[in-house]
Amino acid sequence: MASTTTARALVVPHTGDSSVLEVRDVEVAPPGQGEVQVEVAAVGVNFIDVYQRQGVYAIPTPFVSCSEGAGTVTAVGPGVTDCAVGDRVAWGSGLGAGASVVNRDADTVVPVPSGVELDVAAAAMLQGMTAHYLVNSTYAVGPGTTALVHAAAGGVGQLLVQMIKAKAGRVIATAGSPDKLEIARRLGADAVINYREADDLAGTVREANGGAGVDVAYDGVGKATFDASLESLRPRGLMVLFGGASGQVPPFDIQRLNALGSLFLTRPTIASYTATREELLERGTSVLGDIAAGRLSIEIGGRYPLTEAATAYDDLEGRRTTGKLLLIP
Ligand code: NDP
């Protein structure tokens, strides 16, 4: 009979700041019906881990943190037909990824193509599929679309800039330091703005856009930029609030959408854009395929052992990072 395996796991014992994080040994059962067991090569660090640890998204504690990773299948449970031992797989949703060995529902993993290293796959899944749905499905970016992208040197931001440029759109990028602005510019941003220095951010965005409002604002910074994002839009433009790195946006008077010119507002989550196996595979294979083909580049901004996860999150929350951070279990 198959036996349990001991894994190292990053545990949130109760909500709080990064100091609550603990690395513990946990027992992992053999994979159950429809599951694969994976030896994890790398775990992605994401802002959603912060919201979950802080209790912004309520989750009963204790829990194993993180939602993203990649590794090699070491065992398959009953009923699994499209995954075999030795397969390289990656995923970007579902708690519990922050461990050296995990059991995953086989329907939630995506095959990693040859030519893509496992750490790059771990770095690409959640942020890559997020950028993918934001530019393809939340708003159909095309030639001539003008988009505002905040935190453009960050994980999602760098991918948004590249994907919008690949569709011949125009990008007005913001970031919080000259080095970060340079990253956005290198990736193809048409105009860059240091939003820490702009007194009138919406005015500066419009100025960079020839006086007009932008078609779509991609805002994962939230509280600090939300008003300026709304005011940067053209009449009937789309406000995409997809996160709150600076804090969650407080309750909002819908009448403002009218006053600013019949604006649209959406607060999307990746869960609704990867809800079916078909859609998950389409987005996941598209992102990993673009990386394999050299059309999309992933900057791994830092690798931390699991035991130094708190430092990784402090760096992310402290705006000291660019690109993607990984934990190595
Ligand atoms: P990033 O790598 O972009 O890091 C966040 C960046 O936000 C920082 O580097 C910083 O860049 C900027 N920022 C501005 N103000 C603050 C602040 N007060 N505190 C911290 N950071 C600040 O993170 P991710 O790519 O992981 O995530 C970006 C956003 O996307 C997050 O809000 C996340 O929740 C969201 N997200 C949403 C998903 C969805 O489906 N809705 C899925 C995945 C991510 P700078 O120094 O340039 O200002």
Q: What is the DSSP string of 282-317?
A: HHHHHHHHHHHTTSS---EEEEEEGGGHHHHHHHHH
- With a 6 Å cutoff on the Cβ, whether 129 touches ligand 1 is no
CA of 192 to the centre of ligand 1 (A): 17
Contact call for residues 286 and 132 (beta carbons, < 8 A): yes
- Residue ranges making up the domain that contains 22: 5-125+274-328
CATH number at residue 38: 3.90.180.10
d(CA 229, CA 214): 9
Strand bridging mode 35-44 / 69-76: antiparallel
Indicate if the pLDDT at residue 1 is higher than 60: no
* 281 and 262 inside one domain: no
Phi and psi at 219, nearest 5°, equal: -125, 105
Q: In the prediction, which pLDDT does 58 show?
A: 86
Residue at a domain's end among 267, 284, 317: 267
**pLDDT tier for residue 329 given thresholds of 50, 70 and 90:** very high
Give alpha helix (H) positions in the chain.
Answer: 47-54, 118-133, 155-166, 178-186, 201-208, 226-231, 255-259, 270-273, 277-292, 309-317
CA of 219 to the centre of ligand 1 (A): 9
Per residue in 88-105, pLDDT (tens digit) is 999 999 899 999 999 999
What residue owns the CA closest to ligand 1's atom 10? 319
Q: In the prediction, which pLDDT does 197 show?
A: 97
Please, what is the average pLDDT of the chain? 97
CA of 159 to the centre of ligand 1 (A): 12
- With a 6 Å cutoff on the Cβ, whether 145 touches ligand 1 is no
- With a 6 Å cutoff on the Cβ, whether 313 touches ligand 1 is no
CA of 40 to the centre of ligand 1 (A): 25
Per residue in 240-290, pLDDT (tens digit) is 999 999 999 999 999 999 999 999 999 999 999 999 999 999 999 999 999
Indicate if the pLDDT at residue 2 is higher than 80: no
Residue at a domain's end among 214, 232, 267: 267
Q: For residue 150, is it within any domain?
A: yes
CATH number at residue 166: 3.40.50.720
- With a 6 Å cutoff on the Cβ, whether 96 touches ligand 1 is no
